[in-house]
């Protein structure tokens, strides 16, 4: 009796007014008997009937077998999500999807050997994904891409012996990546790059015989790095450098040589 009275006196539960999670009405849903009763979908958490990317993704996590049924769904986010769950053999059907988000999801999962069909995609993010996934022996297909980030990824993975194609790229970041990886034997071709930071990198890596190409560089930091590595004959040519720090380094190195 006491428990019953306590229950009667308890205030009625009030809904959480802060919970704005979209929930569908399961009453008319075709998946009610097939999925809901089996715990493979749940309103407000894993549901295909609401426009919530989180809920849609959870629905297909639990029901990947249904993904092929939604390849032509009018809602772009559903198509982008099912691209993560489709069998790879069916991904080709979404390669030319009108929405770039869908094509990005396709590019992330398409078999590597089939990525060539996306190298001319109009969306830069699609091409970036392609460049990031292509193996070194195929990434050269994107060496002339219009987007600098795509070309930067190409410069990071292209076989070193093929990097000379990108020595004169119009973008500074691309050329910097090239200067980091270019074989030493080819670095002299970048000794007159228009960017100071790239020439500084070149001065650190170039072969000692080719340092003579850079000892009169307009940037004193480049000349300083030349002086750090220069052989005695070149150091003698740098004794009258206009920068005091460079001259001091030259004299220190020459003095050290004489002390041996």
Return the closest-CA partner of residue 175 out of 161, 159, 194, 157. Answer: 194
Segments making up each domain of the chain, as ranges: 29-110
Q: Sign of the CA dihedral 197, 186, 194, 215?
A: positive
DSSP string, 173-211: HHHHHHHHHS-GGGGGGGTT-S-HHHHHHHHHHS-GGGG
Q: Report whether pLDDT(41) > 60.
A: yes
Neighbour count for residue 217 (Cβ, 10 Å): 20
Tell me what percent of the residues of the chain surpass a pLDDT of 90: 79
Mean pLDDT value across the chain = 91
Return the closest-CA partner of residue 148 out of 120, 173, 123. Answer: 173
Find the helix or strand (DSSP H, E) in which 80 lies: helix 76-82
- Whole-angstrom CA distances from 47 to 38, 71, 187, 250 are 14, 17, 57, 72
The predicted-structure confidence for 55-73, as pLDDT tens digits, reads as follows 999 999 999 999 999 999 9
Please, are residues 83 and 107 in contact by the beta-carbon 8 Å criterion? no
Return the closest-CA partner of residue 60 out of 91, 28, 83, 37. Answer: 83
What confidence score (pLDDT) does residue 31 get?
A: 86
* Torsion on CA atoms 63, 53, 121, 149, rounded to nearest 10: -120
The pTM assigned to this predicted structure is 0.83
**CA–CA distance, 133 with 110 (Å, rounded to integer):** 10
What confidence score (pLDDT) does residue 25 get?
A: 78
Residue 103: pLDDT band (50, 70, 90) is very high
The predicted-structure confidence for 19-36, as pLDDT tens digits, reads as follows 567 787 788 888 887 888
The predicted-structure confidence for 141-173, as pLDDT tens digits, reads as follows 999 999 999 999 999 999 999 999 999 999 999
What confidence score (pLDDT) does residue 236 get?
A: 97
């Amino acid at each position: 009796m006491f428990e019953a009275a306590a229950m009667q006196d308890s205030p009625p539960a009030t809904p959480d007014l802060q919970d704005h999670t979209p929930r569908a009405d399961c009453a008319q849903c075709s998946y009610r008997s097939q999925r809901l009763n089996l715990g493979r979908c749940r309103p407000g958490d894993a549901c295909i009937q609401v426009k919530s990317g989180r809920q849609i993704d959870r629905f297909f996590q639990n029901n990947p077998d249904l993904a092929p049924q939604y390849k032509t769904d009018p809602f772009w986010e559903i198509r982008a999500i099912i691209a993560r769950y489709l069998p790879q053999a069916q991904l080709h059907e979404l390669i030319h999807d009108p929405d770039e988000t869908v094509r990005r999801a396709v590019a992330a999962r398409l078999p590597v050997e089939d990525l060539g069909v996306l190298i001319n995609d109009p969306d830069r993010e699609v091409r970036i994904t392609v460049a990031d996934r292509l193996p070194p022996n195929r990434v050269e297909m994107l060496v002339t891409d219009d987007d600098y980030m795509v070309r930067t990824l190409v410069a990071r993975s292209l076989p070193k012996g093929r990097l000379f194609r990108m020595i004169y790229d119009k973008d500074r970041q691309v050329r910097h990546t090239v200067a980091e990886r270019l074989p030493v034997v080819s670095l002299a071709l970048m000794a007159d790059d228009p960017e100071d930071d790239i020439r500084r990198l070149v001065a650190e890596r170039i072969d000692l015989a080719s340092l003579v190409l850079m000892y009169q560089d307009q940037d004193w930091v480049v000349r300083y790095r030349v002086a750090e590595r220069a052989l005695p004959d070149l150091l003698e040519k740098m004794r009258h450098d206009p920068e005091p720090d460079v001259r001091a380094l030259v004299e220190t190195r020459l003095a050290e040589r004489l002390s041996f």
